Amino acid sequence: MIFSGPPLAAAAPADVPTGVPAAAPVDVPASAPASAPAAAPLPVNPLDADYRRLLDLCPVLRVRLLAADEPAPERARGWYSAAELAEDPDALARALAGEAARIAPVAAAHGTAPRPHVAASRLLHHYLWSLCVLIAGPWWLTRRVPSIDGADLWLHAPTGDLALRPGAYVTLPGEDELRAELRAAVVSHAEPLLAAFAAPTRRGTRALWGMVTDDLASAIWYLGKRLDACAPGSGTAQEDAAVAAAGAVLPGRTDPLPGAAAFRTLRGEDGRGHHTRTRLGCCLYYAVEPRRACITCPRTDDEERLRRL
């Protein structure tokens, strides 16, 4: 079943301050009311509570939540919607410049000077991973799959922060159907962006969809680890469940998402098991900090993974 979010309130005329009733015309009889009746409150969107919980759970997720009647973030202040990033080369160029500026000091500290396609790959990875958490989070917590329109999620070019206006969502009784909706919601939002990022990242279609697959698997895994971290004494119960869930969402052959979550277990000398997987593609962080490739990077062998774990 598809639910729509609350409608946007109509904007006030430009010459009337918001929240202040317009003066009555001079020919209105004295008995007429001085102002129009107060507008009915907007209906509550269940996703609002889901996202508040998600942001408390995931401290690395830098997202500002917008109310249904709140103005969109201003382009003049460096905010660009996903639709703008996909359709407006100038907006994309400014976002890429912002990412390049953010990674430059880190790269300089490690003696590297990443080329433009590295900054583009890092920005796309950051956006896709955040998107996947924003869609998979309510799915994992409440079995609601948000449908995030490209006009309702914004990126702040100078900082990489995001802003989101929650909207429609889907809920279904069957787990297989809901997993399909989760994949479809991610694919629908990501597809226009991948076309825009293809040239800057120097990646082909399969590699770009591989990044989406990696980030969706990572997002679900991260949610499980965070739930364990917020429940002392739970061990790895939530992580174990999330890894299994990611495998069910991404079993392989779910076009256009190539490959599978394909988690496996590494055993340390103490016999303890650790979940891991190998990304389908590299996010290029090693090009910024050469000695610190991601723990799921194809460049990181199992011995190094166990050492870090």
Convert the pLDDT of each residue in 85-106 to its tens digit: 999 999 999 999 999 999 999 9
- Give the ranges where 143-254 is alpha helix by DSSP (H): 175-201, 205-229, 237-249
For residue 263, which of 217, 209, 207, 226 has the smallest C-alpha distance? 217
**The pTM is what?**
0.86
> 179: domain range?
45-249
Overall number of domains in the chain:
1
**Angle, alpha carbons 136-298-61 (nearest 5°):** 30
Residue 113 domain flag: yes
Residue 4 domain flag: no
Residue 268 domain flag: no
Residue 291 domain flag: no
pLDDT (mean) for 269-289: 92
Rounded to whole angstroms, the Cα distance separating 268 from 143 reads 35
pLDDT tier for residue 22 given thresholds of 50, 70 and 90: very low
pLDDT (mean) for 291-302: 89
Residue 75 domain flag: yes
Residue 79 domain flag: yes
Residue 309 domain flag: no
Residue 261 domain flag: no
Amino acid code (one letter) for 1: M
For residue 148, which of 196, 195, 193, 186 has the smallest C-alpha distance? 186
Amino acid code (one letter) for 116: P
